[in-house]
Amino acid sequence: ISNDQRIPADFVRHVDGDTTVLKIDGKEQKVRFLLIDTPETVKPKTKVQPFGLEASKRTKELLSNASEITFEYDQGDKTDRYGRALGYIFVDGTLLQKTLVSEGLARVAYIKEPNTKYLSELEQAQEQAKNESLGIWSIPGYVTQRGFSK
């Protein structure tokens, strides 16, 4: 996949740290960001988790201030079981997922082949955030294989 497979998109409305609504090809779509997970802020019956609000606020800030947003599908499933589009979001040419991971606001998660185009890049960013104890990595034992422990 090269840059020419990135689709211009417009920010419609904010949902949370790893989900947003974009207008893609003239159609409003709820989009779930591939390969990352941010702490919950809007999940029913779930308390707001540490760094969830920060992640949500940062996602909203990046998307609402973007000059250019582009969307890219990977090789595998284009939607999840909830009908959300699955893909990578680029804000002014920078992978949004990578920004969130490198700032310690998201963990690398939901790795499903073949949707792994940017996996190694995200894992490197995560290692660095972990080494610097940023955000979610500042709370010992908070990040687990299955999510967040609070």
Q: What is the three-class DSSP state of 114?
A: coil
Q: Which of 53, 33, 51, 16 is nearest to 137 (CA)?
A: 51
How far is 148 from 70, CA to CA, in rounded Å? 29
Residues taking part in catalysis:
32, 40, 84
**Nearest in space to 136 (alpha carbons), one of 19, 39, 60, 56:** 39
CA–CA distances in Å: residue 140 to residues 31, 61, 136: 31, 28, 9
Long-range contacts of 78-83 (CB under 8 A, 24+ apart): 80/32, 82/30, 82/32, 83/30
